[in-house]
Structures are given as structure tokens and as C-alpha cells.
């Protein structure tokens, strides 16, 4: 019996649905059954599942799905400000805006299009945005799902202003873990970090790997482009690869902070960990006409071949 060659139609593998608020969201699929969901609300990835249907991103059971508030979970985009280190609302306005589909984006490298299911989104500032942040920009976001089930986010910010501007940025990635006390991060050893629990005081990481026993809110500086998050109970490792994103944020609210957040369950800190590719300590500055690119690739591999595989 002969083999029939079936060509996977990546465009047909993208399904458009509406969320609770009638806002379009896009479901990307690959041939193995992995999927990713992206909402026009915030350009936010709200789901990433492996080929077994297991959810790999955390979303709080108490998340508020109502614009303009960003949803607690998935991958909110923090732009043009991270945290409250500026005059804008917490984490900037991009995650609270309704984005549009970019039907004709400027071309990306061919490797970032071939063999992937993807969607291109676009954010331009409104008049209201420019009152609080008086700069003109085009923010293009491509979200891709590869044939291996990797999730890739590529952000391109172009200055279409007559004068330079600066911004900070983060992919605020909520990873789903089995038990935070059984998780460790490799790749950030010996680095300097800013501790947001100590007024952003600078310290140096002393441990062989980062483990969790209490609240953590740190910005690791000049971090490597590959970071691993090992989940011992699940025997799997998240591999985070990043480009154009020198910093790495590590955040878990632990018990006390969890109880103070209305859109977060009291015990949910045990099942989540944020590890963000970011540009925070040294803001990105764009001259008129210049463009910045920040790329994040998330993979999941069995923990058994992690360190050798990663060359950490």
C-alpha cells in the first residue's frame, strides 16, 4: 500500500473564535495536536498546550476576563513600561489594548515563517495613549507554533516619531508547574539581580540553581539567552530561548501576596512561576525610523537530558 503525502495547511490550521467579551481570539495548531491561543485583547497568548492536550501556561481561576484589565495568566506583553518604574499604569498599556490583525506585515526571516502556524498582530497608539506617552510607534507581534510544538513570540517595535523614545519590555510568562517547591531554574547562577522586594537593591545570585521557599521578585541582569525551568514532579523542563532581551524576571508571589490579589487564588502560587524575557535595567532607545526586535521561544523537553542538551 502506497504512502500518501499530506501537506499540512498551516493557514487552515488557524481557527478564529470569540472570547467572553466578543473579542476575536486565534487558535493555532500543529499536525501533532499541540495548540496555542492568542487574543486580540492585549495581543496576549492565553493558552499553550502540548500534543497530549496538557496546558503549559498558568491562568488563575480568579482571572478577570474584562477589558481593559489584563488577564492574570498566559503571556501578557509589558510595554512600554515594566512594573511601576515610570509614569504609566503598571506594566504599561499594550496588554490592555485591543490589537488588530496585521494582514501585510513586513517580512521576517524565512526561518520564522517556514513550517509554522502563526498569526501577525499590530498595535498602534491611540490619541489617548499619546496623551500619557507622546510617541508614535508600530508594534508588530508574530505568535507562532512550530511543528515540534514550540511557542515563538517575535515583537518588532518601530519608531515612526520625529524624535527618539525609550521603553522597557517583558514577555510576562506564567508557566504552569506541578509544585513550586519542587522547581528549580538553571542558567541564572552567579548573575547580578535587582530585588524588587528590597527597593530594587542589587545583589549577586549565590546558589547553584534558583529554588523557591518564599516570595521572589527579581530582575536578573545580562542573563544568558537560554534558561531552563526544571519541574521535578512532572520530569519535564521548560527551555526559554531569547534574543534582544538581556534581562530575566523571576516572580512568584508566595502565600501572603497571593491573598492580597483579587484576581489570584490564595493557594495558586504553588502551581505557577513567572520567568520573563525582558529589557528593563537599560531601556531600549529607538531613533526615528529605527526598529527593535525581541524574540522568545518556549520549548518543553524531558528533564533527563536537560543540562547536556542545553549546554548550560
Q: Which of 167, 112, 115 is nearest to 142 (CA)?
A: 112
Measured at the CA of 142, the angle between CA 138 and CA 146, to 5 degrees, comes to 170
Span 189-196, average pLDDT: 96
Quick: pLDDT tens for 101-129.
999 898 887 666 666 899 999 999 988 88
Quick: pLDDT tens for 60-93.
877 776 666 778 889 999 999 987 776 666 777 8
For residue 189, which phi and psi values (nearest 5 degrees)? -60, 145
176: left (phi > 0), else alpha (psi -120 to 50), else beta?
Answer: beta
Confidence check: pLDDT of 308 > 90: no
Burial classification of residue 102, based on how many CB atoms lie within 10 Å of its CB (0-12 exposed, 13-18 middle, 19 or more buried): middle
pLDDT score for 11? 62
157: left (phi > 0), else alpha (psi -120 to 50), else beta?
Answer: beta
pLDDT score for 91? 73
Cα distances (Å, whole numbers) of residue 134 to 35, 61, 79, 174, 282: 37, 36, 14, 30, 20
Q: Which of 1, 35, 42, 32 is nearest to 15 (CA)?
A: 35
Q: Give the count of beta carbons closer than 10 Å to the beta carbon of residue 189.
A: 15
Q: Residue with C-alpha cell 508557566?
A: 175
Question: Cα 304 to the chain's mean position, in Å?
Answer: 25
Span 30-51, average pLDDT: 95
Cell of 107: 517580512
Instruction: Give the pTM.
Output: 0.92
For residue 170, which phi and psi values (nearest 5 degrees)? -160, 145
Confidence check: pLDDT of 16 > 50: yes
Question: Cα 283 to the chain's mean position, in Å?
Answer: 18
**Can you tell me the distance from the alpha carbon of 70 to that of 255, in angstroms, rounded to the nearest whole number?**
22
Cell of 160: 515612526
Confidence check: pLDDT of 1 > 50: no
pLDDT score for 110? 64
Mean pLDDT of the chain: 89
- Which has the minimum average pLDDT: 7-21, 49-63, 202-216? 7-21
Cα distances (Å, whole numbers) of residue 169 to 10, 151, 205: 30, 19, 23
Q: Which of 166, 168, 186, 160 is nearest to 245 (CA)?
A: 168
CA dihedral angle for residue 304, residue 307, residue 310, residue 312, rounded to 10 degrees: 170
Span 26-52, average pLDDT: 95
Cell of 303: 528533564
Amino acid at each position: 500500500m502506497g504512502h500518501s503525502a499530506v501537506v499540512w495547511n498551516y493557514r487552515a490550521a488557524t481557527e478564529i473564535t470569540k472570547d467572553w467579551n466578543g473579542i476575536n481570539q486565534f487558535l493555532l495548531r500543529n499536525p501533532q495536536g499541540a495548540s496555542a491561543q492568542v487574543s486580540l485583547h492585549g495581543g496576549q497568548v492565553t493558552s499553550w498546550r502540548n500534543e497530549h492536550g496538557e496546558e503549559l501556561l498558568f491562568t488563575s481561576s480568579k482571572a478577570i476576563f474584562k477589558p481593559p484589565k489584563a488577564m492574570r495568566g498566559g503571556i501578557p506583553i509589558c510595554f512600554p513600561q515594566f512594573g511601576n518604574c515610570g509614569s504609566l499604569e503598571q506594566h504599561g498599556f499594550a496588554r490592555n489594548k485591543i490589537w488588530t490583525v496585521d494582514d501585510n506585515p513586513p517580512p521576517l526571516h524565512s526561518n520564522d515563517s517556514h513550517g509554522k502556524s502563526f498569526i501577525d498582530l499590530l498595535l498602534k497608539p491611540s490619541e489617548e495613549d499619546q496623551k500619557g506617552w507622546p510617541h508614535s510607534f508600530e508594534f508588530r507581534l508574530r505568535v507562532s507554533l512550530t511543528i515540534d510544538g514550540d511557542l515563538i513570540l517575535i515583537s518588532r517595535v518601530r519608531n515612526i516619531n520625529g524624535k527618539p523614545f525609550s521603553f522597557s519590555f517583558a514577555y510576562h510568562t506564567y508557566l504552569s508547574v506541578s509544585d513550586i517547591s519542587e522547581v528549580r531554574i538553571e542558567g541564572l547562577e552567579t548573575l547580578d539581580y535587582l530585588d524588587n522586594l528590597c527597593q530594587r537593591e542589587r545583589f549577586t545570585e549565590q546558589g547553584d540553581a534558583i529554588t523557591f521557599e518564599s516570595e521572589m521578585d527579581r530582575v536578573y541582569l545580562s542573563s544568558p539567552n537560554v534558561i531552563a525551568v526544571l519541574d521535578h514532579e512532572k520530569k519535564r523542563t521548560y527551555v526559554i530561548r531569547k534574543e534582544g532581551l538581556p534581562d530575566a524576571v523571576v516572580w512568584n508571589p508566595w502565600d501572603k501576596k497571593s491573598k492580597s490579589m483579587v484576581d489570584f487564588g490564595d493557594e495558586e502560587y504553588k502551581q505557577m512561576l513567572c520567568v520573563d524575557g525582558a529589557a528593563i535595567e537599560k531601556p531600549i532607545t529607538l531613533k526615528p525610523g529605527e526598529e527593535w526586535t525581541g524574540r522568545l521561544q518556549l520549548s518543553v523537553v524531558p528533564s533527563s537530558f536537560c543540562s547536556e542538551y542545553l549546554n548550560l
